[in-house]
Chain A
Amino acid sequence: MRHVLLAFLFLLSLVLPGTLFHFWSWSGIKPDLVMLLVIYTAMHNRPLNAVLYGALAGLVEDFFLGRYLGMYALTLTAVALLGGWLAARWYRENFFLTMLVVFSVTAVGQLLVGFLGIAAGLPWLPSDVWRLVGGIALYNALLVPLTYPWIHHSFLHGWLRYRPKYER
């Protein structure tokens, strides 16, 4: 059930930015919900699981986008690693710190996307990359107060909670 719900959330995160958030974009900047969910998952799971979720989510996103295969797989893997690493050191029930984690990790993730894109020969202007990195990171951070409470609660007490084998 937990995995099904996570898969559903990932797919929803894949679809929402192009649909609903298209109407709430600022100068073309929309949140990266998949990245946000990977960060949340990484904050509530062991590093190996987080990396697996990140890689899988990234691969699915690459297939969904249909081009530049591996860009998001690598990026979200790195994001999961970094998110988990930071969350282990910062108190994760503090919303401000969580926002800071989300902002920083999203910024790094988007920078990585920008770096990979430019390295692969995409004609992206560095100024645009900076604008997008800052914008998406800020948007994701602003979504934390709206999304984190219920997803944190679900990871701790609800359907997303990890249940050991003996409990199952």
Chain B
Amino acid sequence: MGKRVNATGIAVLVFFLVLGVLVSMRLTGLGSHWPNPVGSALQRILSPVENALLYVGHGIRDNTRALWSFHALEAENKSLKEQADRLAEDNLRLKNQVLAGMRFEALDQGEFRSPTLDKFAKVGATIINRNPTAWYQTLTLNRGSKDGVAVDDPVVAHLGLVGKVVAVSPTTSEVLMILDSEGQVSALVRGSTGEGTFGIVQGTYKRGSRLTAEGNLQMLFKREDTVNVGDLVLTSGLGGVYPKDIPIGKIRDIRLDPTGLLKTAYIEPLVNFDSLEEVYIVKTVGGK
């Protein structure tokens, strides 16, 4: 008898308990704005701990990501490998183009061959002098008209373009380097996608601006042209002086013009002009 009374009592207690909780839940649901000082205090006390734990959690997740997301990472890895293969293929194609311009092989009597420059005769030359003034960027070579050198013949080094012959004597020739502001070159920028953007490479060394870093080249582009840092600059073959695909340099920096319409790419030459000792004259004019 007593047991039955207890069970009923418990059932009634549970019923009212559940009812009370349901009412309480309704009153303290979202948007009810009931005062909760205990909760606020708890949040205040525990938030630094939560922050620290979350920080630790981030650290653990970042450092153990490979373990927890193995399959996802495997798929990502596979995809990246495929992408890397594609990029390597693109890169190889690009390199072939670059190498086509850079593949100068020493032949007998100081002449050089390359796929691009194959149809021209070349002659090796030694730098015997540099312009004594600081205003011009020219070199004097030990080859002249006797060797078949003529004005406007391009001059290349083993890594890339040096300049062009601007004056010839029977035994010497003067070369205007591309670093000189007057040594403009019609050029082509090859991006990672292989697409070319045409422009004019110009030496930044100008009269009246001698404090500008020597050895820099620059190129102007329209704002919307897609050129990036690290892109290779080659001769375009336009203009009639320089054959196509001779490497000039790599874009080191790109800055937007103050007008906002143009941008300037600063190019790092492939050739170290300061330590240059030997060059090759491509007889594009003199060989004809």
Tell me the chain A residues, 91-109 only, with Cβ under 8 Å from chain B. none
> By the criterion CB–CB under 8 Å, are A19 and B29 in contact?
no
Q: CA–CA, A122 to B29, complex, Å? A: 9
Tell me the chain A residues, 128-168 only, with Cβ under 8 Å from chain B. none
The stretch of A31-39, A40-48, A63-71 in contact with B is A63-71
With A20-B53, A24-B68: A15-B46 Cβ-Cβ less than 8 Å: yes
> By the criterion CB–CB under 8 Å, are B39 and A65 in contact?
yes
Indicate with 1 or 0, residue by residue over A111-141, a CB within 8 angstroms of chain B CB atoms.
0000011011110000000000000000000
> By the criterion CB–CB under 8 Å, are B56 and A68 in contact?
no
Contact of A119 among B20, B22, B36 (CB under 8 A): B22
Q: B38 an interface residue at 8 Å Cβ cutoff?
A: yes
Interface size class of A (residues with CB under 8 A): 20 to 34
Contact of B21 among A19, A65, A66, A71 (CB under 8 A): A71
A interface majority secondary structure: helix
Shortest Cβ distance from residue A17 to the other chain B in the assembled complex, whole angstroms: 10
Which B residues are CB-close (under 8 A) to A117?
25
Residue of A nearest to B51 (CB): A19
Q: B3 an interface residue at 8 Å Cβ cutoff?
A: no
Shortest Cβ distance from residue B10 to the other chain A in the assembled complex, whole angstroms: 11
Q: B106 an interface residue at 8 Å Cβ cutoff?
A: no
Q: CA–CA, A121 to B28, complex, Å? A: 12
B interface majority secondary structure: helix
> By the criterion CB–CB under 8 Å, are A70 and B20 in contact?
yes
Shortest Cβ distance from residue B93 to the other chain A in the assembled complex, whole angstroms: 43
Indicate with 1 or 0, residue by residue over B13-28, a CB within 8 angstroms of chain A CB atoms.
0000110111011111
> By the criterion CB–CB under 8 Å, are A66 and B36 in contact?
yes
Q: B213 an interface residue at 8 Å Cβ cutoff?
A: no
Which B residues are CB-close (under 8 A) to A22?
54, 57
Q: CA–CA, A14 to B188, complex, Å? A: 64
> By the criterion CB–CB under 8 Å, are A66 and B39 in contact?
yes
Count, chain B residues at interface, CB 8 A: 30
Q: CA–CA, A120 to B26, complex, Å? A: 6
With A68-B29, A74-B17: A120-B22 Cβ-Cβ less than 8 Å: yes
> By the criterion CB–CB under 8 Å, are A74 and B21 in contact?
yes
Which A residues are CB-close (under 8 A) to B50?
15, 18-19
Which of B42, B60, B61 is packed against the most chain A CB atoms within 10 Å?
A: B42
Which B residues are CB-close (under 8 A) to A121?
26, 29
Residue of B nearest to A71 (CB): B25
Which A residues are CB-close (under 8 A) to B21?
70-71, 73-74, 116
> By the criterion CB–CB under 8 Å, are B53 and A120 in contact?
no
Residue of B nearest to A120 (CB): B25
> By the criterion CB–CB under 8 Å, are A70 and B24 in contact?
yes
> By the criterion CB–CB under 8 Å, are A67 and B61 in contact?
no
Contact of A15 among B17, B36, B53 (CB under 8 A): B53
- Pairs A–B under 8 Å by Cβ, sample size 12: A15-B46, A19-B57, A22-B57, A23-B57, A60-B42, A63-B38, A64-B42, A68-B25, A69-B24, A70-B24, A70-B28, A119-B22
Indicate with 1 or 0, residue by residue over B147-160, a CB within 8 angstroms of chain A CB atoms.
00000000000000
